[in-house]
C-alpha cells in the first residue's frame, strides 16, 4: 500500500509500478468472480466487483496488490447461483475458465510475483480454481499460490443471529440475498434496485443436481433466499469480517 | 433387478442384457471414485469399490443397472484426500476426468439409456462431475442426468453421536477414517489392515489451500481423522443410510 | 439507450434489464482489449478501458448495449505492443483467448442477443477474434456478428496532420503514444503520469518478427513512438472520429 | 510377489505397500482393455478382466505389480470388435483414451515406478497406447515403458491346429470367439452364457473400413467368428502361452 | 478423369473445376503419408509422393479426384518406420494429425463431396486415420468415408516369390526396402541414391515396443530390410497390384 | 546450396542430407500457405506453391534449406481470400493450424536446426504463425525463429506504377489478381487458365468483417481485383523483389 495513494490496484498501475511491487516481493491477490444473474435488484457484475471492494479494504491494512480480476466464472448452478437458464449470466466452460487462470498465474510469475492469492467469490468455481493453481505451481517451484475458494469467514452463531435473525438459509442459498445485497448497500448503494427487492425461495431444496435444469431448484427472481434483511450496516460488518480473514491469511501465509 | 440373479451389474452383463435394460427404460447409476491413498490400513480402490457396494445394495430394492464404474478421479487435495504428494494415488487431470465422464454419458445414451445417475464418492470430483453432465445433457434433450456429487445422507445429531461419540471431525476429514473403515469392515473385512490402524489428525486445519502442498494440512498416515471408532456394525448402519438416500433419489427423479 | 439513465452497460444491469434489451433486439458491442504495458505513463488497463469509453459515447447516439468487456488479450508483440518480455503485461495463449470469446458469444446468444459487435482495441488480437466468431456463427444461423478487429477510423492526411504534425509513425507504433495518451487525457486525465512521459522509438523497425524477442524492435519505456504530442483536445477529436465509425457500422449492419 | 499372499494387485494394496514395491524397483504392468460387446455369451468386461487374469498368473512367476487396469478403450471397429453401433459398448474418444494413459503413467512415475508395462488386450487401442507412452517418456528420462499393444503369443501352425482345427479365422476375427470364450471357461466359467453360443461370421471381410458402419463387416451376434470350439482346456493352454510371453518380456526388458 | 487432360489432381484444379467434380458426385481419394526418413537412398517425401503416384495411375482407369495430400503423419516407430530419433523425420502429435484429417474431411464435405477415400501409406497412422473419419461421419449423415489404412494388396505366395526371392521380411520391415525403392525406380528413378543402397536389418525384432527408443529395434541406415532386390520392373508390377486394389475398392464402394 | 545440384529442398533430401545441412547450421525456411480458391483462372495450390518457387530462387543466392511446406492454412476471409463459402478451399481451424506449425518447429529443432524462417504467403495466417513460434521458442532457448507473416516487399510508388498502372487496389484485394497471376505466368504458365481471366471487384469494401459471410465483400469469381494487368514480365520483377527481401532477412538475421 502506498500510504497516500490508496491500495495498489493492478489495472490502474503502470508496468513499472507493478514491476516494483513484484520486486518488493509483495503478494498479489486476484479477485475471481462471474458474470451472473443476481436477482431482480443486483447487477450481473456482483461476483467480480464485491471481492475487489473487499480486497481493496484489506489492502489498506496490509501491503499487497489487488490483482487483475476475473469477471467470468464457471457455469451457474440452480442451487447456488440460479442456474444456466437465466439470461444475463455469461459463464465459461470449465476448460476455458481453468485456462484463463492458468495463463494469468503464469504471466504474474513471469512478471516477478512469487506470492499469489486466488480469492474466489463464485461458489461454482470451486475445484476449477485449484486445478490451474496446481498446474502452474508444478511448473514453477519458486511460486506460492494460496487458493481461497470459499472467501466467507466463519459464521458463528452470534454472527448468524445478526445476519439472519429469522434463521440461516444455508450459504449456498445466500445468492443475491442478505450478504451480497448488504455489501452493495455499504459499498455502492446506487447499484441496488431496492424497488425490485422481494423475498423468494426455491420450491425444492435437495443435495443433488438434475439436468436438464429443474427450475424448482432455483427461483423466478434469481435470489435464492430473501434479501429483505439486508442493510448497509450489515454490509459494513460483513466487510470487516471478510477483511479480517483476508488479513489473517496474508499474515499466516506470507507473514 | 432380475429377482433371482442379484443386482444388474453393467460390467458382468452381455450387450443384449444391457440393451434390454435400456429398452425397459431402467436408470443406470455410475459409481465414480478415485484411486487414492486411504491411510495405512485401507486399499487404494476404496473410493470406487465402496460406491459399487452401496449401489448393489440399493439395486436389491429398486430395479436399475449398477453402471460402469470410474476408478480414477480428480487430484487428491490435502484437506480432503491427503494430497497429491502420496505415492499410490493415481489422479487424472481435470480435463481428462471430465472427458471420461463425457464419453461414458454419450455412450450410455447411444446405447439407449435415458436416465442416468452419477454417484460420486470422491470429494475432489465435485464440479468436475457436473460439467460433463451439462455438456452431454445439452446435446441430448431426451436424456436426464442426476448428479449426486455428495453421496452422504444427512448426518443428524443422533447419527453423529453413533458415528462419532467423541465428536464429529467434519466430513472433509472423514477420509480413511470411521466411515470408510466401517464400510469395508461390513462389506469385506479382509481389505482392512487392522494392525495398521491408528489415530491421526492434520496439524493444520484451515479453509483455504496452499500450493506447493503444505503437508501440515494432511497427515503422515493418510487418514485425516481417527479410524479407531470404526466397526462392521457402523458399516451396516451407514450402508442402510446410504442406500436409503439412493432409493429416495431414484424414486423422486425416476419414480 | 434509456434516455435519462446514460448508456446501457452490461455489467451494471440486472438480468431482467439485459433480457429486455435482448428482447428489443438491440445490438450488444463487446469491448475487447488486453492487460498490457502502456509505457511509463499509462496504466495496463488502457486497452480495455478506452474501448469502453468510446462505446459508451457511441451508446449516447444509438441504442445498443455496451457489452461485457474482455480485459485480457493475446500475447503482446514487440513491434505493436512492446512484447512479452515486459512485466505487468498479462496475456492469454491464443487458444485461451479464442475460447473466452467463443463462450461469451454463445452465452449472449443463449441470453437472447442476435446482433453482436466485437470491438477490438488490441492489435495482436487480430485473427483470434474472427475465429471464435466464425465457430459460434456456424452453430447459430440466426446470429449476426460484426467483427471490428481494427477500430481506428480512416486517418486522412488532414487528420494525420492534426495528430502527428511532425510525421505519422505508422499505426503499429502508435502504442502508448499520441492516440492512447490523448484519449486518457480527455476521458480521465488522472490516469496519465505526465511526469513519466518522454519520447521513445524502437532502434529497429522491420516488417518481420523474431523469437526469442529482439528488444531492439521494442523500446525501454514501452511507448513505441513519442506520446509528447498528446492532448485532451486531440483526445476529444479522436473520440468523435472513433464514435462516428461505431455509429456508421451500427447503422450499416443493423440499421 | 509376496510368496504367501498371491500376486501384488495395485488396487488392493495400501499406499505404503505400493510405495514399497516402487522402492524395490519392481515393474508394474497395466492391463488395458475396453468395455465392449463380446457376443451374446460373454460379458462386456471381457477385455479388461482377461488381461488381469493373465497378468495375475504371470505375477506368480515373476515379482511385479499387476497395476491399475483401464476398463475403457478406444472405439470398437466392425472388423475387430463388432463396431460402434452395438449397445453396451462404451468407448472413449481417441483423445480421452490417450489422456487417461498419459495421466496414469505420469502418476505411476510420481509414485516411484521406473519400469512400466502397458499390456493391451483391445485391438483397436493400437497406436493410442504408444502415443501417451511416448509423451510421458519424453518428459521422464529415467522411466522405461514397454508397450505391448498385441498381447498374443506367436500362434505356430501346431498351436493353430489345436485352437482352430477347422481353420484359422485370422486374429482380428477372433473376437468373442475361441480365444476369449476359452479363457473365460478356464478362469470363470460362470461368465459364459453357453446357451447363447452359436457360430457366426461377417458377411463381408475386407481390409478396409467404411463409415457410416457397414454392418455386413460385423455380425448380428457380435462374435466375429465361431466360439463353438472353445473349452476350458484350450483356455488353460492359452493362459500358459500368454503368461510365457509376459514372463519373457519382463525378463528381456527388466531382467 | 477428363479424357485428354490426365487425372484430376485436386491441388492443380481451380475451385470451379473442383466444384464441378463434386457436383458430378465423383469420389475424392486423399493420399496420406508422412515426412519420414527412408534410409540412405530415398527422400523423406516417399510416404506422401508414392501414394499420389499410385492414385494418379488409378485415376486413369476410374473417374475420381486425387485429393489434397497430407504430407505429415503420426510419429515414426522403430519397427515400422525407423523411429523418432532420426533427423529429417517430421512427425505430428496424434492429436494434431487427427485434427488435420478432421478439418480436411469437413471442408471436402462443405465443398460438396459425399464420397471420400482415405488412402494411407504410413503404417504408424493406423487408427489415427479412423478416428477423424468417425467424428466427421457422425456429423454428416450424407457422407461416406472409406478408410484404407493399409494400402497394400494381398501378397500371395506367388507374388512374395517375385518380390522377395530370398524370403519375405514381413511388411512392417518393408520400410525403405524392396517395395518403396522399386516404386521410386519405376516412377522417378532420379529420387533413388543407388550408391547409398545397402542391406540392413534390425538387430532385434520383437512384437512389442520400448521407450525410450531401443535403437536395436531399428537400423543405422533407416532401411528396415534390404532394398537390394529392388528394380523398376518390380515397381511396375507393384503399381499394377496397388492400382488394382484401388480400383476394386472404388468399384465396390461407389460403383 | 550445393553448387551444382540446385537448391536444397527438404522433401527431396534423404535424412542424411538433411542432417548434414542442420549440422552445418544452415537456416531452414518453411513455405506456409493455404489450399484456397484463387479465382477462375488459378489453381487452389497457389498459396503454397508460389512461396516455394520464391524460396527456391532465393536459395540460389544464399545457402539454406527450402523446408517442408505447409499446404493448408487458416480459414479464408472474404476481404482477403474470398471467404469460406467457396468450394475448393480447404482450411484448418485455428487450433489445428497452430498445432501443425508447433509440431514442425519442434521436429526441425529435434533434427538439429537452430535457425528457422516461417515464410507465410496466406494473409489470414497472420497471428496464427506467431503463436506456435512463440510456444516452441519458449521451450528451446537455443532456437531462433524468424516470423515473416507478410512476405511482400515494400511497394514504392515507382513499383506500384509498374504493377498497377490503373491504380493500386490495396494488398488485401490482391488475391488471385496481378501479383499471383504474374508469378504463375513467370514460373509455370500452364497453371493459368487465361481464358477464364476477367476483371472483378467486391461490391462492398469495408474495414470490418461480418458473419455469416456477406458475399458482397467477396466476388463471384474469387479474384478480389482484376488480374488483367498480369504478365510474365511483372512476375519476373516480383520474383526479384521478393527474393531480394528473403535474402535481406537471411543476411540480417543469420548473416
pLDDT in tens, D89-115: 999 999 999 999 999 999 999 999 999
Range name among A131-140, A154-163, D18-27, D124-133 with the lowest pLDDT average: A154-163
Tell me the CA distances in angstroms from C187 to A17, A21, C52, C118, C221, one per residue in order. 22, 27, 11, 22, 23
Judging contacts by C-beta atoms under 8 Å, the chain C residues touching residue F130 are 75, 77, 209
Catalytic residue among B124, B149, B174, B200: B124
Contact E87 F72 (CB under 8 A): no
Pairing of strands B144-148, A209-211: antiparallel
Judging contacts by C-beta atoms under 8 Å, the chain B residues touching residue D45 are 11-12
Q: Domains in chain F, start-ordered, CATH in brackets?
A: 8-167+238-254 (3.40.50.10310)
Answer whether residue C153 shows pLDDT above 90. yes
Judging contacts by C-beta atoms under 8 Å, the chain D residues touching residue B93 are 99, 103
Per DSSP, helices labelled H in chain C are 15-23, 46-58, 78-81, 94-110, 130-139, 157-163, 178-187, 232-254
* A contact test, residue of B129, B138, B146, B211 with most A CBs within 10 A: B211
Answer whether residue C192 shows pLDDT above 90. yes
**What pLDDT does residue B5 have?**
66
Q: Give the integer Cα–Cα distance in Å for D169 and D151.
A: 18
Contact C98 F93 (CB under 8 A): no
pLDDT-derived band of residue A6, with 50, 70 and 90 as boundaries?
A: confident
C116, C254 in Cβ contact below 8 A? no
* B contact test, residue of A211, A212, A248, A249 with most B CBs within 10 A: A211
D-contacting residues in B 153-182 (Cβ below 8 Å): none
Residues with Cβ within 8 Å of residue D3, at least 6 apart in sequence: none
D94, D74 in Cβ contact below 8 A? yes
Name the closest residue on chain E to residue F10, using Cα atoms.
Answer: E44
Q: What is the mean pLDDT of residues B135-161?
A: 96
pLDDT-derived band of residue C6, with 50, 70 and 90 as boundaries?
A: confident
Answer whether residue C30 shows pLDDT above 90. yes
**E247 contact F CB<8A:** no
Contact D137 E211 (CB under 8 A): yes
**What pLDDT does residue B56 have?**
98
pTM: 0.98
What letters, b where the CB count within 10 A reaches 16 and e where it falls short, cover D5-23? Answer: eebbbbbbbbbbbbbebbe
CA-closest candidate to residue A86, choices A225, A211, A191, A220: A220
Catalytic residue among F57, F124, F149, F174: F124
E215 backbone dihedrals φ, ψ, rounded to 5°: -65, -15
Answer whether residue D1 shows pLDDT above 70. no
Chains near C (3 or more Cβ pairs under 8 Å) = A, F
Name the closest residue on chain D to residue B109, using Cα atoms.
Answer: D87
**What pLDDT does residue B242 have?**
98
Q: Give the integer Cα–Cα distance in Å for F139 and C176.
A: 30
Q: What is the mean pLDDT of residues C83-100?
A: 98
pLDDT-derived band of residue A5, with 50, 70 and 90 as boundaries?
A: low
Name the closest residue on chain A to residue C93, using Cα atoms.
Answer: A103
CA-closest candidate to residue C57, choices C232, C156, C248, C187: C187
**What pLDDT does residue A241 have?**
98
Helix/strand/coil percent split, chain C, to 5: 40, 15, 45
CA of E149, closest CA in chain D: separation in Å?
Answer: 7
CA-closest candidate to residue E30, choices E161, E146, E127, E163: E146
Q: What is the mean pLDDT of residues A37-56?
A: 98
Contact C37 A43 (CB under 8 A): no
Q: Give the integer Cα–Cα distance in Å for E188 and A131.
A: 55
N- to C-terminal Cα distance for chain F? 15
Contact F43 E12 (CB under 8 A): yes
CA of F205, closest CA in chain E: separation in Å?
Answer: 23
**What pLDDT does residue D3 have?**
44
Q: Dig out the grid coordinates for D51 from the structure.
A: 488381461
Pairing of strands F209-211, C144-148: antiparallel
Judging contacts by C-beta atoms under 8 Å, the chain F residues touching residue E22 are 87
F35, F123 in Cβ contact below 8 A? no
Answer whether residue E62 shows pLDDT above 70. yes
Contact F133 C77 (CB under 8 A): no
CA-closest candidate to residue B69, choices B90, B89, B46: B46
Q: Which residues of E are catalytic?
A: 36, 38, 47, 122, 124, 175, 180
Answer whether residue E246 shows pLDDT above 90. yes
Flag whether D touches F (3+ CB pairs, 8 A cutoff): no
**What pLDDT does residue B40 have?**
98
- Counting residues of chain A whose pLDDT is more than 70, the rounded percentage is 98
Catalytic residue status for B47: yes
Q: What is the mean pLDDT of residues E123-144?
A: 97
B-contacting residues in D 112-151 (Cβ below 8 Å): 112
Answer whether residue F5 shows pLDDT above 70. no
Catalytic residue among A124, A149, A174, A200: A124
CA-closest candidate to residue E125, choices E87, E175, E72: E72
Helix (H) or strand (E) holding A17, with range, is: helix A15-23
Predicted interface score ipTM higher than 0.90: yes
* D contact test, residue of B22, B28, B39, B88 with most D CBs within 10 A: B88
CA of B59, closest CA in chain D: separation in Å?
Answer: 19
Judging contacts by C-beta atoms under 8 Å, the chain C residues touching residue F210 are 144-147, 253
Q: Which residues of C are catalytic?
A: 36, 38, 47, 122, 124, 175, 180
Name the closest residue on chain C to residue F96, using Cα atoms.
Answer: C95
**What pLDDT does residue E169 have?**
86
Q: What is the mean pLDDT of residues F149-173?
A: 92
Answer whether residue F2 shows pLDDT above 50. no
Judging contacts by C-beta atoms under 8 Å, the chain C residues touching residue F137 are 211-212
Answer whether residue E248 shows pLDDT above 80. yes
Answer whether residue A4 shows pLDDT above 90. no
**E211 contact D CB<8A:** yes
* C contact test, residue of F27, F155, F207 with most C CBs within 10 A: F207
Judging contacts by C-beta atoms under 8 Å, the chain D residues touching residue E126 are 126-127
**What pLDDT does residue D38 have?**
98
Q: What is the mean pLDDT of residues D148-157?
A: 95
Name the closest residue on chain F to residue E34, using Cα atoms.
Answer: F11
**What pLDDT does residue F39 have?**
98
Q: What is the mean pLDDT of residues D134-142?
A: 97
Catalytic residue among F57, F149, F174, F180: F180
pLDDT tens for D216-235 read 999 999 999 999 999 999 99
CA-closest candidate to residue A134, choices A182, A102, A97: A102
Answer whether residue C1 shows pLDDT above 60. no
Q: Give the integer Cα–Cα distance in Å for C184 and C188.
A: 5
Contact F145 C211 (CB under 8 A): yes
Indicate left, alpha or beta for A25 from its phi (over 0: left) and psi (-120 to 50: alpha): left
Q: Dig out the grid coordinates for E193 from the structure.
A: 541414391
Judging contacts by C-beta atoms under 8 Å, the chain E residues touching residue F224 are none
CA-closest candidate to residue F182, choices F225, F218, F143, F136: F225
Name the closest residue on chain E to residue D209, using Cα atoms.
Answer: E147
Contact D98 E93 (CB under 8 A): no
Answer whether residue A2 shows pLDDT above 50. no
Answer whether residue E82 shows pLDDT above 60. yes
* C contact test, residue of F78, F85, F208 with most C CBs within 10 A: F208
Mean pLDDT for chain B?
A: 96
Neighbours of F158 (CB within 10 A): 8
Judging contacts by C-beta atoms under 8 Å, the chain F residues touching residue C93 are 131, 135
Secondary structure of residue D17 in the 3-state scheme = helix
Name the closest residue on chain B to residue D192, using Cα atoms.
Answer: B14
**D40 contact B CB<8A:** yes
DSSP letter (8 states) at residue D127: T
**What pLDDT does residue B2 have?**
42
Mean pLDDT for chain C?
A: 96
Q: Give the integer Cα–Cα distance in Å for D53 and D188.
A: 10
Judging contacts by C-beta atoms under 8 Å, the chain B residues touching residue A74 are 127, 131
Catalytic residue status for A41: no
pLDDT-derived band of residue B169, with 50, 70 and 90 as boundaries?
A: confident
Amino acid at each position: 500500500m502506498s500510504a497516500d495513494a490508496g491500495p495498489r490496484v493492478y489495472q490502474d498501475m503502470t508496468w513499472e509500478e507493478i514491476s516494483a511491487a513484484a520486486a518488493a516481493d509483495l503478494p498479489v491477490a486476484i479477485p475471481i468472480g462471474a458474470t451472473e444473474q443476481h436477482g431482480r435488484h443486483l447487477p450481473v457484475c456482483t461476483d467480480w466487483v464485491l471481492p475487489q471492494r473487499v480486497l481493496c479494504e484489506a489492502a489498506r491494512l496490509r501491503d499487497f496488490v489487488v490483482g487483475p480480476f476475473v469477471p467470468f466464472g464457471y457455469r451457474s448452478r440452480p442451487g447456488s447461483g440460479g442456474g444456466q437458464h437465466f439470461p444475463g449470466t455469461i459463464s465459461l466452460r470449465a476448460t476455458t475458465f481453468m485456462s484463463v487462470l492458468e495463463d494469468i498465474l503464469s504471466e504474474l510469475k513471469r512478471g516477478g510475483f512469487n506470492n499469489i492469492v486466488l480469492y474466489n467469490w463464485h461458489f461454482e468455481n470451486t475445484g476449477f480454481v485449484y486445478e490451474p493453481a496446481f498446474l502452474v505451481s508444478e511448473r514453477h517451484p519458486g511460486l506460492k499460490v494460496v487458493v481461497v475458494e470459499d472467501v466467507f469467514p466463519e459464521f458463528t452463531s452470534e454472527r448468524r443471529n445478526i445476519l439472519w435473525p429469522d434463521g440461516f438459509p444455508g450459504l449456498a442459498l445466500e445468492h443475491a440475498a442478505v450478504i451480497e445485497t448488504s455489501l452493495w448497500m455499504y459499498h455502492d448503494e446506487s447499484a441496488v434496485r431496492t424497488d425490485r427487492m422481494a423475498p423468494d425461495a426455491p420450491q425444492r431444496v435437495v443435495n443433488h443436481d438434475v439436468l436438464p435444469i429443474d427450475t424448482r431448484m432455483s427461483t423466478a427472481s434469481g435470489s435464492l433466499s430473501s434479501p429483505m434483511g439486508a442493510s448497509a450496516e450489515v454490509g459494513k460488518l460483513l466487510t470487516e469480517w471478510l477483511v479480517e480473514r483476508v488479513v489473517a491469511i496474508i499474515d499466516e501465509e506470507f507473514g
